[in-house]
């Protein structure tokens, strides 16, 4: 039971069958964990976790998850590793490949992750870059399936900055046949190349991926409303400009009422209450952000099992 590629860098690289396999394994591992059934499929293995960006959910979910799989995780940040002192990524990749069994990296440049994977002979998992956040988007598919019972034919509306989260959601929705609209103002819309690739994937699964400036038009028929912070790490200097530009792109009770009855609300966290989402909606009965956060653990365990273990579930 393996994925076609040795790495998980981008959902666009995966087939629909591989995406569904990750979700299936995640559900099985979640059930085993809830029942207290041992599932040490990575026993004796070591994961290097490389961080250039601060993290709560990524570090805790990967470190806890790999421990539950029977392995040992090592935390490396730029202050503690030679990469922070100028060692080339390709050198780090080759050295780590001789000492550990897998690498998870959370950093700024997506090109750095591509180079790491190119020179590493062991699996590399993209924990987040400025371009993509694939592990989170796969987690989101699991959460939607749990709450709505199906993925194909559903509609997800992403509201706000067309960032790395929007990009990975476009790829993810396209792979499973979910319609997606990214509601963003001009100047904050997704990368055109990502949109083009996602639309090509969507043509194969019979869904649509689009960008819409008119939020009222975008939200019609939505089964899922999704948002992320307006100012990501590294963009702090743009905060005031972004608050003004994205002011009208907020998930609030009025917007939620315009979606389908029973629509769910998701947010990858951390949330800035009163900016991209209101307190009322975030803490309301249609919000499943805490289930979503927990599912990072189960989905990332599935990815690690599929890339680093030969186990059959």
Give start and end residues of each alpha helix (H) in 149-252.
164-176, 192-205, 215-218, 239-245
Q: Is 106 a catalytic residue?
A: yes
Residue 135 is among the residues annotated as catalytic for this protein = no
Q: Which of 268, 292, 298, 300 is catalytic?
A: 268
59, 135, 228, 242: which one is catalytic?
228
Q: Is residue 136 flagged as an active site residue? A: yes
Catalytic residue from among 57, 110, 136, 197: 136
Strands of the sheet with 124-128, listed across from one edge = 72-77, 46-51, 102-106, 124-128
**Active-site residue (options: 167, 296, 298, 300):** 296
Q: For the chain, first and last CA: distance in Å?
A: 8
Q: Are 32 and 39 in contact (CB under 8 A)?
A: yes
3-state DSSP assignment of residue 55 = coil
Question: What dihedral do alpha carbons 234, 239, 244, 250 form, nearest 10°?
Answer: 70
- 79 flagged as catalytic: no
Is 110 catalytic? The answer is no
Q: Which of 110, 133, 167, 242 is catalytic?
A: 133
Name the β-bridge partners of 210: 181
| Residue 219 DSSP SS3 | coil
Give Cβ neighbours of residue 35 (< 8 Å, ≥ 6 apart).
none
Angle at CA of residue 59, ends 10 and 12, nearest 5°: 5
Verify whether residue 130 is a known catalytic residue: no
Which of 12, 106, 154, 242 does the annotation list as catalytic? Answer: 106
Name the residues annotated as catalytic. 106, 133, 136, 228, 268, 296
């Amino acid at each position: 039971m393996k994925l076609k590629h040795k790495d998980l860098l981008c959902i666009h690289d995966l087939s629909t069958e591989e995406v569904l396999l990750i979700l299936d394994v995640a559900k099985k591992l979640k059930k085993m964990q809830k029942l207290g059934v041992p599932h040490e499929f990575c026993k004796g293995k070591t994961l290097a976790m490389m961080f250039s960006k601060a993290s709560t959910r990524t570090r805790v979910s990967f470190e806890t998850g790999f421990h539950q799989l029977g392995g040992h995780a090592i935390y490396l940040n730029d202050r503690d590793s030679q990469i922070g002192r100028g060692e080339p990524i390709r050198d780090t990749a080759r050295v780590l490949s001789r000492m550990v069994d897998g690498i998870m990296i959370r950093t700024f440049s997506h090109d750095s992750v591509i180079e790491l994977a190119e020179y590493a002979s062991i699996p590399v998992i993209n924990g987040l870059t400025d371009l993509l956040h694939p592990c989170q988007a796969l987690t989101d598919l699991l959460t939607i399936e749990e709450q709505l019972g199906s993925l194909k034919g559903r509609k997800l509306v992403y509201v706000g900055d067309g960032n790395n989260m929007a990009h990975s959601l476009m790829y993810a929705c396209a792979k499973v046949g979910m319609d997606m609209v990214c509601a963003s103002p001009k100047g904050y819309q997704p990368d055109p190349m990502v949109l083009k690739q996602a639309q090509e994937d969507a043509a194969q699964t019979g869904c649509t991926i689009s960008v819409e400036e008119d939020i009222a038009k975008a939200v019609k028929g939505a089964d899922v409303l999704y948002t992320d912070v307006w100012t990501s790490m590294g963009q702090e200097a743009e905060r005031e400009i972004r608050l003004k530009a994205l002011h009208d792109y907020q998930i609030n009770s009025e917007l939620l009422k315009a979606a389908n009855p029973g629509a769910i609300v998701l947010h990858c966290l951390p949330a800035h209450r009163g900016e991209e989402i209101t307190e009322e909606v975030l803490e309301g009965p249609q919000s499943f952000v805490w289930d979503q956060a927990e599912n990072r653990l189960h989905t990332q365990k599935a990815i690690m099992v599929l890339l680093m273990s030969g186990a059959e579930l």
